[in-house]
Amino acid sequence: MSAAAAAAGAIMPPPLSETPLLWVNTPRKLKRMLSELSAVSAIAVDTEHNSQRSYLGLTCLLQISTGFKDYLIDCLALHDHMHLLRPLMADTSVTKVLHGGANDVIWLQRDFHIYLVNVFDTEKAAQVICGLEKRTG
C-alpha cells in the first residue's frame, strides 16, 4: 500500500490468492450470498454473455466482488431465481462499480428484469478524466 493510501485510511483488499470465492449455483447459495452482501456499501459487477447460435444471446455468468470475497453466479442454473437479486441491485445505498457496463445493464434488464441503481462505470470516469467523453452542444 502506498504511503498516501495508508495516510488516507485506505483498506486494501487481500491478494487474489487469498480472496475467498463462492460458486453460486443453487438457490440456497444465492440466498447465502445475498445475506453476506446485505451489509456492504459497494460491489463490483460484471457479466458474461453468450450470443453464439442465438439471435439475442443470454447472460450466462454474473460476477460480484466486495474486494474481500468474490461470487460467481451461474445464471443458467439459477435463471428462475435471479429475481432475488433485484433488491440488492436496486438498493441506492449500495454502489455498483462496473467497467464498460453498458451491455451489462442491458443484459441484466432484458434477461432477468434486474435494474441497476447507483452505478459507477470506471470506463466512463476514465473518459471524463482523460477528456475523451463525447459532448453534445
What's this model's pTM, rounded to 2 decimal places? 0.85
Q: Tens digits of per-residue pLDDT, 73-128?
A: 999 999 999 999 999 999 999 999 999 999 999 999 999 999 999 999 999 999 88
Q: Tens digits of per-residue pLDDT, 28-74?
A: 999 999 999 999 999 999 999 987 776 778 999 999 999 999 999 99
- In this structure, are strands 119-121 and 21-24 parallel, antiparallel, or unpaired? unpaired
DSSP H helices, the chain, are: 3-7, 27-37, 86-90, 102-112, 122-129
- Tell me, what's the pLDDT at 134? 66
DSSP element (H, E) containing 23: strand 21-24
Going from the C-alpha of 112 to that of each of 90, 94, 123, the distances in angstroms are 13, 19, 24
Q: How many CB atoms lie within 10 A of CB 110?
A: 13
